[in-house]
Structures are given as structure tokens and as C-alpha cells.
A and B are shown apart, each in its own frame.
Chain A
């Protein structure tokens, strides 16, 4: 399937969401997948799995989204989920500086432990709680009447600088208003090199299922050993 270069090829991309608890990971996904928002979303236990397609001019990307639990103690489960991920959304809360620190940890973890070449996007969520962000959150802010005060604690510059240093995509979003959410995913889709898709699903892929776009290749050899190395379970 690596060679399937039909017009508008479709390929699936495993994407994992990481970040501190209650920064809005699940809400981002919900917004992206269902264009919906729930004020009180149940905390994710272990991880949730969702899929959504993303249409690019030249191809279609089907995201297989692993939305992980954010609480610190679940961290040891994370390797199970980011295993073989080709993309990651590392989310922090614009109103909580500690969440950016945690995000940095995740970035470091991914850079060293996840598949090489993983596309990472740093996402500052809850833009709706800030005054019009420099990123132009204004258009999105109409929704939050209650959020008159600026709760922003992490400046765009700070996060952006960090993102640039580490070579991450960077967005500030609001899952609540939907601002920038699709953009993030689209950007990721664009950032995933065609070649990586090909190589990722290239040699050694086991075509166990009929749907080519859903197949993933185990980059790291036999599943077992890989699992043992990569995760703590």
C-alpha cells in the first residue's frame, strides 16, 4: 500500500493526545470529531479512541485518535498509547502554567521514546478564558460571556518560542468555541510527510484487514517485544 499513489490517497494516521489532567484533551477531540462541546466531560480512564477524517487537497488523512488520561499516575500507561503514533497533540491549559511544564515533559518523552519523525503539535487550549489572544482569538471569544476576565497565564510568546526551539507546531485553541481546532489537525495532517506515511506503512506491514488505510505498521518489530520496551505494563 505504500505504493498506492492513486489520486487523493487515503491513509490513516495514529495520533495521540497527551497533557495534564483537565486541560481539555478530550474536549479538543470531541470538538474535532463531533463538533461538540460538553462542559463536564468525564475524565478519560486509560484512553479513549476516536477516528476522524481530514481532507487535504491531495489526500485524505484518517486520524485514529488516542485520547489519553491526564492524571499524573496514568503517565506510566502512556507508552501503550503513543506506541507507533505518527502524530501527537501535546495540550496545555493557557490558564495554568504548570500544564505547560507537563507538556514539555511530554514533548521530551515523545521525542525520545516515540517513533522517530513523530509530528508533534503543542496546543494551548482554553483560549476562550482569555481576552482576545494575540493569535486572533477574538472571533472565537464571543461565545464566552462569562469569561470577561483574562485568565491567561501562559503568554503566546513563551509557548511559541519553546515550540520553535523544539520544532513543534504551535496553536492556541478553544475547544469550547471551536477556535483553531480543525486548524490544528489540518496542520498536523499537512505536516506528516508523504514519505513518512509510506515508510510508516511500508515493508513489513501485515495486511490483516481489508481497509488499507487502517493498517499500521509496527515500526519496532514484533509487537511483544516492542510492547515490553515501550510500555510499563
Chain B
């Protein structure tokens, strides 16, 4: 809810893009609307619609000034403005026409009138106007007689015969062409009509105004006065006698009687004079409300306060905690705030505001300001006045970075330097930091610095004349104490001078003077005189100008401080990264958040615009009027510092190639490099902002990303702080030690943290490896294979064997080998065996380069394993041995037909068991897979441990390099990733892309099926497996290539072509495969089984249907199957796994040797590949892999089929 309302708010504030996005522009060229609003203190919903030069005549009955022209009343020439809901008149000549220059629009204070921001005149809500008549005028001019609801209460209105009612009536002569006058009158007519409905609201609002009570008619003598603050209960501060409260009240009563009250008040010079001498206690709140314009905010939404409180009642927030801490210490010396009543009010107002403006929330000093307000006004009044304060009077003072406060300190300093150069020089010389002293003045509006009675006098003027008053008073304080301050040599002395000054404000300014009148002048009076006379040159515009001048510097300082602090506080992990990296990370982190925020806003804006297009006129008006509360810059108060998953993806896409989606993305402009220079600026001008990812590439969404996110999200809050991101990255990038990275990767997949990764996890790991490498690997890769370029384009062959075999393809092989090995070594029950076996294997593998290694070695490996295994495994071994007979496996003709050994392995046929609708085929396929892999047996969970994983990784040069350098290096923290990735990775990328998309699709589809099948974890695995399988198959093919390559370039080329083809086919076939899977899903079998089925189904389908080249399809299917198989196989003894693996290996070998014309090597690879992914897929996978290669060679489907059968 809160989020929603703040969105709405933001959206509203940012209707004008130039305001929302471009800080300096909006500052330099504030819209006419915003100038209009600030001059008349109108809500931001108001826009200047019409204006016309006019003369206001206040009839004698209403004139307070008797001295001049009693008969004709009082006349003011000025401008009449009409907005949607207000009619305003002011003697300041500002114009808000589009054609008017900014300087004409921004004349704020007619110093000549010594008046407030809007000069003499009035600000009538249209609903307060009762009647407008056109008068017959002498010289063809338009003259309007306006009568208001002033003093006419609802029931009084009914009894129109009341005699004691003095109707407020003013006359306005419009000066302008007839046309202009008519236009204005038309507008007025429309506005009046539109606002008739608000009369009730207005009465409701004014009912809370004390003036209504003060001027109440005789018959209501006993009415209960409206709430005029805590002062009514606990006395107002100060001695009323001394304050001459009674006299002031009389004067005000008189003024209000003559000139109207609250909504219908006419501002005449006396008004401002009365304010300068200090407001009477009971009217103070109301006049503050009126002069600040918060009354109009309340009129707009009278129930907002109550509504907010009830809406959020019982909710918790950080702001509330902070508020609670301070409730007991807000003006504690005032009795009202030692009572539950006062504290309750304070709590409610602060809380309500913190909900309404969650970005500001609560800032210390607000408690003091609100406490002060509450002495004189009701809760609702204080609530709206606080809003007006925070949004308009002192913007940014209470924001999370307090940039407004800091900015005004800079402004103040430069004013001091300008107006009191000697003092300034002294300050500089004695190293006294002025803001140390003056900051609290501004932040708490002097409430905390001066005795309350005087602080309120300052506030009286402040609310009429605006923030410049704070500066004027501050300067006056320094000026008056100048001499003593020049003697003060340090902060301490400086402060104590001022402290004692404030304490003596009520004393005579000239105690020794002969002149009793002069002696009677208090220091405070002196202060006011100095402030407003001597520093009358300090105007709203000069302040605005200085603010502008200093704004950037202040924001930059804040940002660098924030950055510094943030980076420093990132915790011990951050030390693993260099400062530059941290800095870049910080920028990127907030850059992404900022960017997303801006995009969000623009999109919302666009939507709003569209929604409003029907009411185009209003939309236009509104779009012009955003009040320009800028956001987004860290310095302005970060609106968010949390990164959700989507932002995380975007973030990663900025630093990691692999995190960019394969989907065709919008052309990537070099946002990254731009970002470097200034990410705050880079988005303002971009055009593609409406895409959900902005101009950047669309980030990928892969399980790996999700895992990474979860891993980094240490407290599972679904959001990353910068700290979490840094810690996460530090562990990957920081140590640069391969073991660390390997461990990390392992942990990523060790879901329950038990040090084991199950079958499912293994498959996912391999998937992730493929995912990560699909755009090529980075960093220094195998020097021996220098030929291999990262992108895989350059394929040359040093070693003769490798022709055009890109690293990425070799990596495929590595990954499949990885899988195979993982399964080989996974045997939790026999750690010792495992270890030994592992070691052996490790050695061998280590020595083995996938590509370079002849099958023989690999063949040897299986043996080793077999040896390693004990008793049970013997069986397996036995089983294996048959399988291992390479040729048999390899040559198994029909992929569908499981070789006998397989079947045996599968002995846990139960799993295969009853496919209801499952075709025999499937069974067969299952059997196949299982045969190949006891590991597939779901009842035989298997896992690998970290040491195993490590060993397996280290066994492969490419993988080793991947973990040692490529993976960490793939995070480009500082420079980001430049250039259109898709272009660079060209060849390698495209097929991969298809693969991935395919894989994802398959995975998703598979999921439900698996779930249906019933095995929870397996289900997931299955899905994943399907994905991986699909992917794997593709890769597998590539792996196969390696081997094939040995045959020659021709073959290789062919293969490549084939691969691509295959890839495509894979895509095509994957779908059917999935479907079938789903269907089967219903079957009672384990997910794995289902998966197997899929695979099986697919392969056969592919094989048979596709016939030849379908190798691809088959491969895909097989791959998928393989995965499942693995997953399932788990149950079967690990040995079975191993054995099956071996089988695969052997099979592969066999294939290689047999089927592969090329020779053993390829076969091996194929086997590996197949084994890796499809292994379980049963031989089929392996086959497919191998076959694939072959197929390529052979060119026809038969080949494929054959190989599959292998």
C-alpha cells in the first residue's frame, strides 16, 4: 500500500519529464505553474489558466485603512489570476503567461509593499465565492462584483434574513481588451461551476479555524472553540501579558472582521504589519496555515490525515521506531509534551507524515518543529503544514541525505562572505566552521536555538515570506554579534557568544540608553529590524540563485561521502576487492537502481498520459506542473537501495556477457561506457526508455542467476543490498584462487548445505557451466591451445587436430566430461573407495586433455573405477564390463533398444515399471537409460562432495581454467562489458542462443510433467535435466567434433554445419519431446522415469521420424533423456552409476572406435559427451553425441540412427 501510494506520488510528481529527470533544467527554468503555485502558495494541482490586469476595490465597509478615501474604499492595481480552483489577486506584477519571461514570473516579494510573497490581494478558493455579478461600468470596462461565503455559516445561509451578517463583497475592474475580459470571465464561470461541489468541504475545513469561533455571531457565544493547539490545554509559551496577546487579538479580530477570515481573507498592508508584530496565540496556527498555504492542501483533501492514520494503523516502520525514540524528547520543557496528550498528538502527526512521504520518513528536528506547531494548531493542521514545509519551504532539509540543509548552509556561508567579509575572513582564519553553528538554526527553524516565544515570532514571518527569512535572521544574528564574534577564536567561543545572545533576546538592546523608548527595544526587536531592514536585499530570488549555484557541488559532496561511507561499511568481504572495483560496483549498483527507477517513472508517466489523453487539456496542464521534487540522485536521498531479482539481472548484464539474454535484444547502445562517465545523466536523453530494460540488452534469466541471487541474498529478503552484492562478488572475484572459486560454485549448488550435491545438482551445475560459457570464455585460457580464441571464431589449429574448434566447443566437451566424471565418482557410501578411485581418476583425468586424450585413457579410467569399487560394485562392474565392451555399446543399432547389460543394470525396473500409457518404447528407452546408468535409479541417490567436485574440475584443463580465471574474469566490474555482445560472439553465440532458448523452453515444459509424476526434487531435476540435456546434447556434439577433427578439416567443417542444423532440429524436436513427457508425466513413475521417457520418446521419434540428420533431434532428446537418466540413476547404486558411466565410456569408446570412422578419439568424446548429458539417456545420449558427429560426417539420418543405437 505504501509502495503503491508512493508510486502514485512519484508518478504525479514526475508528470513533467523535464522536471523529474533534469535537475538543473527544472531549477533554472521552473515551470510557470510552479512559480504560480509558490507565489500564491497553492497546491501543486493548480495551474495558471487565465490572467488579466485588474484593479481591486475593497469597499469602505471592509477597509481597515481609514485614512484614505473613505468613500471609495481601498484600491489596488495588480493582476488577477485564475487557476482550476482558485482566484488570486496580487499587487505584485508577476505574470505566469507562457509568454511571460521567467523573471516576470518570479518576482516574489514586492519589497515596496513590504509584503509577503503574494503582495496585497487575496487567494480565494473558487468554492468560497458565493456570487459574481457583472457590474455596469462607466467606461465600457468589465467590472465584477464578488461576494463570498465569508462569515456565512451553513445555517445562516439558509436564514438569509440575518441582519448582523455583513456580506463580504469586493469589486474588481478588469483592464484588458473586451475579448480578454470575456475569456477570463468565461473561465471564471466554468471554474465556479466546477467548484460548487466543494463548498461543503470548505465549510468543513474552515470549521476548524479559530477565526470562525472568534467572529462567531452572538447566538453562538457558547460554542466550543475549535482546537487551536496544545496551548489551549497547557497554556501557550510566554507571558500573555508581556506578549500583549489580548491587544493583538483585538486587532486581529478587527482586521478579520473587515477583511474576511481564513479562505476569504484579503491581504492588505495591515495584515503584514500585524504578522510582523507577532501573532496572537490562538490565531497563530490558523494564520500560519493560511500564509503557508497548507490551508489549501487541507481544503483539497480534508480527511487525508485521518485517513492516513486509519489506513496505516498498527503498521510498523523504521520511521516509527525513530519517532518513538524522540517522542519524549521533543520540547520536553513544554508541559504539553510531558503529557500523554501532547505526545500522542506528536506521535500521530509524525507517523502520518512518515507514511505519506515515505521517502523522507522521519528526520530528527521534525519532532521539534512539529511539537512547536502542535502548540498552536490541531493535528490535522500541523500535518498539512509539515507537508508544506517539507515540500516547499525547506525542501530537502529532512530528506535522507539532508541535502537541503547542507545546501542552505553553503548558501548561508556565501551570504555571510558577501555581506560580512570581515567576519567571514575571521572565521576562515580561526578555522571556525560556520555551519557547525548555523545548521541547527535552519534545521529546526530556530525553534531549538532561541527561546520559544521568539522562535515563534520568526516563524510568523517565515510562513508569509518564505525561507529567505531564515537567512535574514541568521545574518542579522551574526551582524549584531559581529564584534564579539571577531574576538572568538574557536568554535567553542563562537558558540558561547551566540548562546548567551539567544538567552538574552528579551533584554533591552540598549540598556544604557538615555532614551526610554530606545531602552525599551528588546534585542529581539532589534534582531527583527536588522533582519528585515538591513538584509532586505536578501530575497527569494537571490536565495534561489545561490542554491542553484551550489547545488551540484553539494550533491557531489554528499554522493562522494555516501559512496565512501557505503564502501567502507561493506564489511570484511569488501576488502577482497580493490577500491576501484568497489567504487565501480557502487556506481553500477546505484546506477542500475536509478535507471530502473527512471524507466519506471517514464513508463508510468506514459501510461498516465495515455490514460489522460481523453482529457487532453488537463493532461497538458498537468504535465507542465510537476512540482519537481527531484529524485534518483543518491545525493537527493536514495529512494531505494535494494535490488530485486530483475534489477540484479540487469546489473549482471552490465558486467557479465553471459548474463545477457540470447533473445534478440534491442541494439545495444554503449550505455555502459556512458554510465561510466555519469550514469545519472545518461538516461535523460535516451530514446528507448520505454522498453522494460531501457537501452541496455535484455538480461538473461537462468537458473544460475537465480541461484546466484539467492546465494547473495543471505537473509532471504528477496532483495540485495550493495553489501550483499559486494560480498557475493568478493567471494568470486576477490580471492582469485581456484579452490575458492570451485568451492563457491559447489556451494551454489549445495542447496541444503550438507556438503553434497546430488544428481540433480550435478546436472544443474553442468547446465550452468554451459550457460556461463555460451558466449565464450574469458581470461587466459589454455596457453597450449593458444589457437583458440575466446569467441571461438578464430579456430586455428596448432596441434593439427583442432581445426576451427573454438574453446567454447571444447568446453562443451569438458562439461560433458564433467558430468560423466561426476557420476563416476559420486558414491557417498564408500568414501574411501571413492577417494582412491577419485584420485586415480583425477590423476588420469588431469593428465587427460579431453581433446587430446585418446580414448584409451578414458577407457582405462573406467577400469580403474571398476577396480575401485567393492563388492556391490562388482556386480556393477560385471555389468559394466559387458557394457564396456565398447563396440557393443557403440554399435547398438537402435537407440531404442537397450543393450542387454543396460537392462540388467536397470534391474530396478520398478521405476520403469508401469507407464500407464507409456509405450513399450518408453520402457525400452528407460531401460536403456537405466541400463546405461544405474545412476539413474531414483532409489539410489547419489551425490558428489566438494572434494569430488574439485577433483573433477581439476581433471579438466578447460574447467580448471574456467574456475581459475574465466569465471572470475567474466565479471567486468570496472569497465563493464562494452560493445554489442551479440555481434562479437557471432558464430558461437548464435547456435548457443538457440540452444538456450530451447533449453529453457524444454525445461519449463518439463517441470510440470515432472511434478505431476510425483517426485518432488526429481521433478525439478527433471526439468533442469531436460534443459541441460538439450543443451548438453548440443554441446556434446561439439565435443564430438573434437575427435572428429582429427580426421580432417573437411569433416570438421561438415560437422559444424551439422551442428547448427542439429541445433535447429533440436529446437524443433524439443517441443514434441516435452509434450510427450508431459503426457507421460501422469504416469506413476518417478519423474526421472518420466524424463527418461521423454528422452526416449524423443529419440525414437526423432530417430525414426527425423530419420537422418535428425541426429540433432535425437541428440537433443538423448541429451534430455540422459539427464533424466542421471537423475534417476541416482538410486541405483552409485556403482551402477559408475558402471553405467563406464558403460557409456566404453560404449562411447566403442562407438568412437567402431562407428566413428574417424577413430577412437572422437568416439570417446562422443561418449563423454553423451555420457555427460545423456549418459543415462543411456547409450542413446552418448550415441547421439557420437552419432551426431558421425552423422555430420555421414550426412544422413541413418548414420544418426545408428550411432544412437550405438
Q: Which residues of A contact B (CB under 8 A)?
A: 21-22, 38-47, 49, 51, 64, 66, 69-77, 79-81, 83-84, 105, 108-109, 112-113, 206, 208-211, 214-216, 218, 223-224, 227-228, 231-233
User: Which residue from B331, B495, B560 sits with its C-beta under 8 Å from A49?
Assistant: B495
Tell me whether A42 and B399 are in contact (CB under 8 A): no
CB of B221, distance to nearest CB on chain A (Å): 41
Tell which of B325, B491, B493 has the most Cβ of chain A within 10 Å. Answer: B491
A-chain residues with CB within 8 Å of residue B444 when the two chains form the complex: 45
Tell me whether A80 and B329 are in contact (CB under 8 A): no
User: Which residue from A73, A108, A218, A224 sits with its C-beta under 8 Å from B363?
Assistant: A73
A-chain residues with CB within 8 Å of residue B433 when the two chains form the complex: 80, 83, 223, 227
CB of A142, distance to nearest CB on chain B (Å): 24
Q: How far is the CA of A48 from the CA of B174 in the complex (A)?
A: 57
Tell me whether A73 and B492 are in contact (CB under 8 A): no
CB of B458, distance to nearest CB on chain A (Å): 16
B-chain residues with CB within 8 Å of residue A21 when the two chains form the complex: 322, 325, 364
Some 23 contacts from A to B, beta carbons below 8 A apart, are: A41-B332, A43-B325, A43-B330, A44-B364, A45-B364, A45-B439, A45-B443, A46-B443, A49-B495, A69-B364, A73-B363, A73-B399, A76-B401, A79-B561, A80-B436, A108-B569, A109-B565, A112-B568, A209-B430, A214-B489, A214-B492, A231-B561, A233-B435
Whose C-beta in chain A lies nearest to the C-beta of B326?
A43
Tell me whether A208 and B491 are in contact (CB under 8 A): no
Contact with A along B530-573 (1 / 0, CB 8 A): 00000000000000000000000010011011101100110000
Whose C-beta in chain B lies nearest to the C-beta of A47?
B436
User: Which residue from A41, A51, A109, A223 sits with its C-beta under 8 Å from B568?
Assistant: A109
State whether A77 and B439 are in contact (beta carbons under 8 Å apart), knowing that A43-B364, A109-B568 are contacts in the complex: yes
The answer to whether B409 has its CB under 8 Å from any CB of chain A is yes
User: Which residue from B429, B435, B557, B565 sits with its C-beta under 8 Å from A228?
Assistant: B557
Tell me whether A40 and B328 are in contact (CB under 8 A): yes
Q: How far is the CA of A124 from the CA of B4 in the complex (A)?
A: 41
A-chain residues with CB within 8 Å of residue B491 when the two chains form the complex: 49, 64, 66
Q: How far is the CA of A71 from the CA of B318 in the complex (A)?
A: 12
B-chain residues with CB within 8 Å of residue A80 when the two chains form the complex: 433, 435-436
Within 8 A of A (CB), among B434-479: 435-436, 439-440, 443-444, 448
User: Which residue from B428, B440, B562 sits with its C-beta under 8 Å from A76?
Assistant: B562
Q: How far is the CA of A208 from the CA of B406 in the complex (A)?
A: 27
Whose C-beta in chain A lies nearest to the C-beta of B398?
A73
Tell me whether A77 and B448 are in contact (CB under 8 A): no
Within 8 A of A (CB), among B383-422: 399-402, 405-406, 409-410
B-chain residues with CB within 8 Å of residue A22 when the two chains form the complex: 325-326
Q: How far is the CA of A41 from the CA of B329 in the complex (A)?
A: 5
A-chain residues with CB within 8 Å of residue B436 when the two chains form the complex: 46-47, 49, 66, 80-81
Tell which of B328, B431, B490, B561 has the most Cβ of chain A within 10 Å. Answer: B431
CB of B331, distance to nearest CB on chain A (Å): 8
B-chain residues with CB within 8 Å of residue A209 when the two chains form the complex: 430, 487-490, 493
CB of B432, distance to nearest CB on chain A (Å): 8
B-chain residues with CB within 8 Å of residue A70 when the two chains form the complex: 364
Whose C-beta in chain A lies nearest to the C-beta of B568?
A108
State whether A206 and B429 are in contact (beta carbons under 8 Å apart), knowing that A73-B400, A211-B489 are contacts in the complex: yes
B-chain residues with CB within 8 Å of residue A47 when the two chains form the complex: 436, 440
A-B contact sample (13 more), CB < 8 A, given A44-B364, A45-B365, A66-B491: A39-B328, A40-B332, A42-B332, A45-B443, A49-B495, A64-B492, A76-B558, A77-B439, A80-B435, A209-B487, A218-B431, A223-B433, A233-B409
Tell me whether A232 and B557 are in contact (CB under 8 A): yes
Tell me whether B443 and A215 are in contact (CB under 8 A): no
CB of A215, distance to nearest CB on chain B (Å): 7
Whose C-beta in chain B lies nearest to the C-beta of A50?
B492
CB of B336, distance to nearest CB on chain A (Å): 14
Tell me whether A73 and B332 are in contact (CB under 8 A): no
A-chain residues with CB within 8 Å of residue B834 when the two chains form the complex: none
Tell me whether A76 and B402 are in contact (CB under 8 A): yes
A-chain residues with CB within 8 Å of residue B488 when the two chains form the complex: 209
B-chain residues with CB within 8 Å of residue A79 when the two chains form the complex: 561
Q: Which 6 pairs of residues, A with B, have the shortest CB-CB distance? A: A209-B489, A232-B561, A208-B430, A40-B328, A233-B406, A46-B439
Q: How far is the CA of A86 from the CA of B558 in the complex (A)?
A: 24
CB of A157, distance to nearest CB on chain B (Å): 19
The answer to whether B367 has its CB under 8 Å from any CB of chain A is yes
Interface size class of B (residues with CB under 8 A): 35 or more
User: Which residue from A71, A83, A224 sits with its C-beta under 8 Å from B364?
Assistant: A71
The answer to whether B765 has its CB under 8 Å from any CB of chain A is no
Q: How far is the CA of A64 from the CA of B493 in the complex (A)?
A: 10
B-chain residues with CB within 8 Å of residue A51 when the two chains form the complex: 492
The answer to whether B368 has its CB under 8 Å from any CB of chain A is yes
Tell me whether B489 and A208 are in contact (CB under 8 A): yes
State whether A233 and B448 are in contact (beta carbons under 8 Å apart), knowing that A22-B325, A76-B562, A206-B431 are contacts in the complex: no
User: Which residue from A113, A210, A216 sits with its C-beta under 8 Å from B431?
Assistant: A216
A-chain residues with CB within 8 Å of residue B448 when the two chains form the complex: 42, 45
Tell me whether A206 and B430 are in contact (CB under 8 A): yes
Contact with A along B363-381 (1 / 0, CB 8 A): 1110110000000000000
Q: How far is the CA of A43 from the CA of B364 in the complex (A)?
A: 7
Tell me whether A75 and B565 are in contact (CB under 8 A): yes
Q: How far is the CA of A223 from the CA of B440 in the complex (A)?
A: 21
Q: How far is the CA of A41 from the CA of B331 in the complex (A)?
A: 9
A-chain residues with CB within 8 Å of residue B368 when the two chains form the complex: 42-43, 45
Q: How far is the CA of A198 from the CA of B365 in the complex (A)?
A: 39
CB of B570, distance to nearest CB on chain A (Å): 10
Q: How far is the CA of A228 from the CA of B401 in the complex (A)?
A: 17
A-chain residues with CB within 8 Å of residue B440 when the two chains form the complex: 45-47
Q: How far is the CA of A215 from the CA of B803 in the complex (A)?
A: 78
A-chain residues with CB within 8 Å of residue B430 when the two chains form the complex: 206, 208-209
Whose C-beta in chain A lies nearest to the C-beta of B410?
A233
Q: How far is the CA of A69 from the CA of B326 in the complex (A)?
A: 12
A-chain residues with CB within 8 Å of residue B365 when the two chains form the complex: 43, 45
A-chain residues with CB within 8 Å of residue B492 when the two chains form the complex: 49, 51, 64, 214
Tell me whether B363 and A223 are in contact (CB under 8 A): no
Tell me whether B329 and A42 are in contact (CB under 8 A): yes
CB of A51, distance to nearest CB on chain B (Å): 6
B-chain residues with CB within 8 Å of residue A39 when the two chains form the complex: 328
CB of A163, distance to nearest CB on chain B (Å): 17
Tell me whether A76 and B406 are in contact (CB under 8 A): yes
Q: How far is the CA of A154 from the CA of B560 in the complex (A)?
A: 32
Tell which of B401, B433, B435, B440 has the most Cβ of chain A within 10 Å. Answer: B433
CB of A15, distance to nearest CB on chain B (Å): 12
Q: How far is the CA of A70 from the CA of B565 in the complex (A)?
A: 15
Q: How far is the CA of A74 from the CA of B409 in the complex (A)?
A: 14
CB of B656, distance to nearest CB on chain A (Å): 30
Q: How far is the CA of A154 from the CA of B495 in the complex (A)?
A: 37
Within 8 A of A (CB), among B513-539: none
Q: How far is the CA of A180 from the CA of B557 in the complex (A)?
A: 38
Whose C-beta in chain B lies nearest to the C-beta of A81?
B436
B-chain residues with CB within 8 Å of residue A108 when the two chains form the complex: 568-569
Q: How far is the CA of A72 from the CA of B402 in the complex (A)?
A: 11
Q: How far is the CA of A41 from the CA of B333 in the complex (A)?
A: 10
CB of B353, distance to nearest CB on chain A (Å): 15
CB of A148, distance to nearest CB on chain B (Å): 22
Tell me whether A232 and B428 are in contact (CB under 8 A): no
State whether A74 and B568 are in contact (beta carbons under 8 Å apart), knowing that A40-B328, A49-B495 are contacts in the complex: no
A-chain residues with CB within 8 Å of residue B489 when the two chains form the complex: 208-211, 214-215
Tell which of B400, B402, B440, B492 has the most Cβ of chain A within 10 Å. Answer: B492
CB of B495, distance to nearest CB on chain A (Å): 5
Within 8 A of A (CB), among B965-979: none
A-chain residues with CB within 8 Å of residue B410 when the two chains form the complex: 233
B-chain residues with CB within 8 Å of residue A49 when the two chains form the complex: 436, 491-492, 495
State whether A74 and B329 are in contact (beta carbons under 8 Å apart), knowing that A45-B364, A46-B440 are contacts in the complex: no
Q: How far is the CA of A100 from the CA of B399 in the complex (A)?
A: 25
Within 8 A of A (CB), among B307-357: 322, 325-326, 328-332
